[in-house]
Amino acid sequence: MSTDESTLALVAAGGMDVDDREILRRIAALVEAADPVPPGLVDSIGMALTIEALHAELAELHLVGEPELARRADETSIEAGTITFTTDVLTVMISVHPEAGRVRVDGWAAPAGELSVELHQSGDVTTTTSDSDGRFSFTDVEHGPARLVLRRPSDPTVPIVTPQIEL
């Protein structure tokens, strides 16, 4: 065994001390700084798990003649202006309006009727009920990724969930 090798073996066999822990603490900080977890990843995982737990029917997105509604490059989120979502049983249209740094979301669901409508954002859920015409709105909403979860009184255990949109 060379001197270098025996020194290495000796140091390696030593118990971890305060300095080792300090070094690891600094390495952790360096790793986080060099390659931070993308902002929003934890939130979007949380949302995906929530949707998964709902065993929901995922509504398909149909863009209705709104050229500014370009899908983002990563295709995980869609910039919202006016958007229509459809499933076999329900069609939902929403429009998004800027309002003092935040947004208002107006929506309309057909066939008309009272639905429970949830707005999911980063773990926060806001709930409202549509009126008898199927209209609903959320005011004072923060910008960021969001989903709508709609529940029909006829079938409350199978919610309808929109893809993630960017408000």
Partner 1 sequence: MMSDDLVEPVDTALRDQGEGLADRAARAVVAYRDGDREPLAALVQVMTPLLWHTVRAQGADTETAQDVVQNVWLTLVRDIDSIRDPRATLQWMLVTAKRAAWRSVRRSREDLVRHEQDEHVTDWLAAPVDDRPDTMAVRSERDQILWQHVSSLPDRCRRLLGLVALVDRPDYTVVSRALGMPVGSIGPTRGRCLAKLRIALSSDPAWSVS
Chain residues in the site for partner 1 (CB under 8 A): 7-8, 11-17, 19-20, 23-35, 37-38, 41-42, 44-46, 48-49, 52-53, 74, 123
Closer to partner 1 by Cβ: residue 134 or 159 = 159
CB of 23 to partner 1, least distance (A): 7
Q: How far is CA 9 from CA 12, 17, 19, 90, in A?
A: 5, 16, 18, 68
Closer to partner 1 by Cβ: residue 52 or 68 = 52
| CA atoms in the 13 A half-sphere facing the CB of 10 | 7
CB of 104 to partner 1, least distance (A): 28
**CA gap 67, 1 in Å, rounded:** 72
CB of 149 to partner 1, least distance (A): 15
Which residues are CB-neighbours of 128 under 8 A, at least 6 positions away? 116, 117, 119, 136, 137, 138
CB of 124 to partner 1, least distance (A): 12
Closer to partner 1 by Cβ: residue 77 or 130 = 77
User: In the beta sheet, which residues pair with residue 58?
Assistant: 161
Closer to partner 1 by Cβ: residue 49 or 64 = 49
Closer to partner 1 by Cβ: residue 13 or 100 = 13
What is the rounded end-to-end Cα distance, in angstroms, of the chain? 65
CB of 26 to partner 1, least distance (A): 6
Which SS3 state, helix, strand or coil, does residue 155 take?
A: coil
